[in-house]
Amino acid sequence: MTFRPHALAEFAVFIVAACWLGFGMILAFGNRGAAKASRKRDAISHLGFFLQCCGYAICFIFHRTYFSSLIPMSKVMEGTISAVAITIALASEWFCFAAARALGRQWSLVARVIEGHDLIDRGPYAVVRNPIYLAMFGMLVATGLAVSRWHALLVAIVVFLAGNSIRIQSEERLLREAFGVQFDDYARRVPAFFPRLL
pLDDT tens column, 4-24: 556 888 899 999 999 999 998
Over residues 65-100, the pLDDT tens digits come to 876 788 888 888 888 999 999 999 999 999 999 998
- What CATH number labels 41-189? 1.20.120.1630
| Residues in Cβ contact with 21 at an 8 Å cutoff, skipping those fewer than 6 apart | none
Q: Which residue ranges in the chain fall short of pLDDT 50?
A: 1-3
Domain boundary assignment for the chain: 41-189
Q: What distance in Å separates the CA atoms of residue 135 and residue 167, rounded to the nearest whole number?
A: 14
Q: What is residue 116's predicted lDDT score, i.e. its pLDDT? A: 76
Contact (Cβ atoms closer than 8 angstroms) between residue 59 and residue 157:
no
Q: What is residue 1's predicted lDDT score, i.e. its pLDDT? A: 43
Q: What is residue 147's predicted lDDT score, i.e. its pLDDT? A: 93
- What separation in angstroms does the CA of 178 have from each of 105, 145, 182? 17, 39, 9
